[in-house]
Structure 1
Amino acid sequence: MLFYRGMTCENVTINGDQGTPITAYVAKPSGPGPFPGVVLVHHLPGWSEFYIETTRRFAHHGYLAICANLYERAGQGNPDDVAAKVRADGGIADAQMVGDTEAAVKWMRAQGNHNGRVGIFGSCSGGRHAFIYACQRKDVDACAELWGGRVVMGKEELNAKTPVAPIEMTKDLCCPLIGLFGNDDRAPSPEQVNQHEAELKKHGKTHEFYRYDGAGHGIWYWHRPLYRVEQAMDGWSKVLAFFGKHLAK
């Protein structure tokens, strides 16, 4: 694996759901490529420093990477404040997320130094969203879902913004899936992860699930007490190997 210490990073504007312009952060490795692509779907805390840094980390490992600001319609400013506003409003609609993410995938596929393959990556709500996207669209080649909560949903949790439980979409999953989960997590709980995997097996979907003892939600979040260094580094190696297998040409 080559490491690209040189890279260019910038904000770009893409036309999101229903043509609404939104901002996306882009990191590109130096060199001619062609490079595989990774579209990052940020977590519930928003378009945060963790996701901006993770976008750069994928570029360091040889990927064109883009992370769209799914909360842009809620205003500018401190990501924590914007995320709090979005949470108070019941989150973003799944359909809007799909439209915004599709715009990021289209941006990726339009790049001259892209190799034609795209992975989608998300954690927490972004893991759920990445899985939904890979079930509703056919334009990604691999999906990484990290501790995606509310893939399994009770009927009482469904509403206009989240009308269908993602687990019900499993039959339409368009690409191989990797899942990382902490066994101390409650959202998703180990029981929900088992349900999620059973549905994947039922429909014959290519997947790799890894469950970590001594870890709960947010294993990779270096800025929080949730961080688990050994499990995080093992998870990174698993995701990079998975994307390398399915996205490199």
Structure 2
Amino acid sequence: MPTTTGNRRRFRRFVDVTQIKIDTPAGPIDALLDLPAGAGPWPAIVVVHDAFGYGPDKEATSRRIADAGYLAITPNLYARGGRVRCITRVFRELLSKRGRALDDVLAARDHVLTLPECTGAVGIAGFCMGGQFALVMSPMGFGASAPFYGTPLPRPLEETLAGACPIVASFGRRDPIGKGAADALRKMVQDNGIPADIKEYPDVGHSFANKLPAQPLLRITGFGYHEDVTNDAWRRVFAFFDEHLAATPRA
């Protein structure tokens, strides 16, 4: 059963993530959709997966978000063709800040906005590659952005984040591709008056919030899952989103 604290609802439920089709400018793609238990409407979060795609790890992330009282949608950015070809294209579009991958993320946002279960407030969260998307797209009509180790940071950073929504970012100090990222982002948001919560965790590296294959090897190379840090990062994200995606029912 849901409990209420202020304007936010916290839920525990045991249902499966649903795979759906969403329309995009380049044709339909599949996406994961997860709703909290109980009666909505809820704010929504568009989740952008990492370079590995959106397998079971993303289902667990989607459930975590829905358990916190948010509608979660994860578009499959690799829906068109083989993974290798898609990875190349998606990274190219990420660097250029335009293309089908960005359109797919916006289409996921537009899809949840059509749902009566959504309040009309939508944030974005992403991991690794998806964290870079969350930063690049933070000025593109989202209410808040949560990049997890979105490294390397997009360049030029100040130009890319001009007009950005509030940002809650999480980094690992042992991330071999994220040296100085937290400090650089912190300075940029402070200089430009962007509301933010930026934290660098000292004892973890890249992918600390993703359960990826070959964990022992990943930890040696500066990657790897860390449960306690993951829980703390999500606690900060949900507190930040509670503030900046406050439930405002549709007119």
- Give yes or no for TM over 0.5: yes
Deviation of 1:166 after TM superposition, in Å, equals 4.8
Higher share of residues assigned helix: 1
Please state if 1:247 is matched with 2:248: no
Q: CA RMSD in A?
A: 1.9
Correspondence for 2:37 among 1, 9, 30: 30
Q: Contact 2:57 / 2:210 at 8 angstroms: preserved in 1? A: yes
Question: Residues 160-218 of structure 1, C-alpha deviation per residue, up to 9 Å, x if partnerless?
Answer: xxxxx454312221x110000001112221x2332222122221111110110111101
In structure 1, C-alpha distance between the alignment counterparts of 2:160 and 2:89, rounded to whole Å: 25
Correspondence for 1:150 among 143, 149, 152: 152
Correspondence for 1:238 among 223, 236, 245: 236
Question: Residues 24-74 of structure 1, C-alpha deviation per residue, up to 9 Å, x if partnerless?
Answer: 110112322111111101111112221122112211221111000001112
Q: 1:184 to 1:21 in 2, by over 3 A?
A: same
SS in 1 for 2:207: coil
Number of residues of Structure 1 aligned to a counterpart in Structure 2: 226
List gaps (5 residues or longer) in structure 2: 1-8, 217-223
In structure 2, C-alpha distance between the alignment counterparts of 1:70 and 1:213, rounded to whole Å: 31
Q: 1:205 to 1:89 in 2, by over 3 A?
A: closer
Q: 1:33 to 1:7 in 2, by over 3 A?
A: farther
Q: 1:238 to 1:28 in 2, by over 3 A?
A: same
Q: Equivalent residues in 2 for 1:1-249 (5 A)? A: 1-7=9-15, 9-16=17-24, 18-75=25-82, 82=83, 84-87=84-87, 91-94=91-94, 95=98, 96-135=100-139, 137-138=140-141, 140-153=142-155, 165-173=156-164, 175-189=165-179, 191-223=180-212, 224-225=215-216, 226-249=224-247
Question: Residues 121-167 of structure 1, C-alpha deviation per residue, up to 9 Å, x if partnerless?
Answer: 001010000111112x12x11110110013244xxxxxxxxxxx454
List gaps (5 residues or longer) in structure 1: 76-81, 154-164
In structure 1, C-alpha distance between the alignment counterparts of 2:162 and 2:169, rounded to whole Å: 17
In structure 2, C-alpha distance between the alignment counterparts of 1:57 and 1:192, rounded to whole Å: 26
Q: Contact 2:80 / 2:86 at 8 angstroms: preserved in 1? A: no
SS in 1 for 2:137: helix
Q: Contact 1:147 / 1:187 at 8 angstroms: preserved in 2? A: no
Deviation of 1:101 after TM superposition, in Å, equals 0.7
SS in 1 for 2:69: coil
Deviation of 1:4 after TM superposition, in Å, equals 3.5
Alignment-mate amino acid for residue 175 of structure 2: D
In structure 2, C-alpha distance between the alignment counterparts of 1:48 and 1:7, rounded to whole Å: 17
Deviation of 1:231 after TM superposition, in Å, equals 1.4
The sequence identity of aligned pairs, in percent, is: 29
SS in 1 for 2:185: helix
In structure 2, C-alpha distance between the alignment counterparts of 1:230 and 1:25, rounded to whole Å: 26
TM-score by length of 2: 0.83
